[in-house]
Amino acid sequence: MLADIFEQIGYQKESPSMRNSFLGAAYELRHGMPTGASPKSNGSDMIKGMTTELWLNALANQHG
């Protein structure tokens, strides 16, 4: 049911990024996460966007 709701919201959005977010979420709910390469979450852009507290928490979760 949530996938149906996300799909309808996605079809109503004018912004391509918002539309893709909702339609992608609907797809994942119906079919599971796509297989393949995982998104890289430790790139320099992501680290630059983190607060010091978030960065330290991420380090603690990776190594502890």
Q: Mark 41-53 as b/e (b = at least 16 C-beta within 10 Å).
A: eeeeeeeeeeeee
Residue 64 pLDDT > 60, yes or no? no
- Per-residue pLDDT, averaged over 49-62, amounts to 83
The predicted model scores a pTM of 0.54
